[in-house]
Amino acid sequence: MYSRFTIRILPIFTTSSFIIKNNIAYADTQNNELKKQINVYELDRDYIEPISYVKFPTKQDINLEEIKSTDLISAGVRCMLGDSFMCDQPITRVYSYGLYLSNNFKDVDGSFDQTIFNCPEVAKTLRIEVTVTKGCGHWAGGYRKTIGKRMKGMKKYRDDKTVSSEARKATAMFTSQFQDYNLFPAGKIDAGTHIVITWFKGKVTTEINGNVTSEIENDILGEALFRTYYAHNCVNRKVNSKTRCHFREGMSEGELQHQDTLYEKNVCPLYRKCGRGLRFK
């Protein structure tokens, strides 16, 4: 026989805690000084992704009539082998990616999930910075697999054959641009390529190196794309967790200090040279 115990974990109080004042998080230090927790988009310089050292602008220009830019919430890395120990190896980090939201996300009275997956009036942008050159088939096939997996987990996709048929067509249109030999004549997507994907009011717009390459009217595609990165069964749970924390609380004092250190060291993305072309070493 085993005895049943109820274990209650009590909070540990230290000399540092957090105070919420006017919806802004502050660090309460030993000297009772209040230090604001800065949001990533409030930084006065680019945000350096701390693993890959890729720099992300705090604002992303987008080609929409209603909204001209979105604000950076957080950024992380995407590895070939998912969220595994192999992500410690720079050569496995295919790209870094950041989540941007239109400024009106602050007006949404809801959770992270509500804002990302159920608010069509908030523009959601993914900025992808390629760090390892890969063949076009790698990108197209990878997106077919990950998007399809998320779609199958969506009730509205499973329950309506018309919806699912249209979503599959939209996925095919989306993935085909990564195999467009007019865009990638060498059959590969090079390190240094910028990909910007925006989902707003039912439309998914993709820009590659500043040029609009597709505009697809399909909400299921948009939701599946963002679920790929920010749902609970996403491709990198650590990045998802950090992004949700930045969304709720902003950056910690330690993160701000680390950004200062990275700038002082003048870091640049591993496996690429700083400056023109961002070429491999």
What are the extents of the domains in the chain? 39-250
Question: Per CATH, which fold does 39-250 belong to?
Answer: Chalcone isomerase (3.50.70)
Mean pLDDT of 44-68: 93
Candidate from 77-81, 90-94, 168-172 with smallest mean pLDDT: 90-94
Q: Which residue did the predictor score with more confidence, 272 or 23? A: 272
Q: Please report, for residues 43, 78, 104, 135, 142, the alpha-carbon distance to residue 94 in angstroms, rounded to integers and kept in the order given.
A: 26, 6, 31, 11, 12
Per-residue pLDDT of 251-275, as tens digits, reads 999 999 999 999 999 998 865 555 4
Mean pLDDT of 120-130: 97
CA-only gyration radius of the chain, Å: 20
Encode burial over 62-76: b for 16+ CB neighbours within 10 A, e otherwise.
bebeebebbbbbbbb
Judged by DSSP in three states, 162 sits in helix
Per-residue pLDDT of 205-246, as tens digits, reads 999 999 999 999 999 999 999 999 999 999 999 999 999 999
Q: What is the pLDDT of residue 36?
A: 52
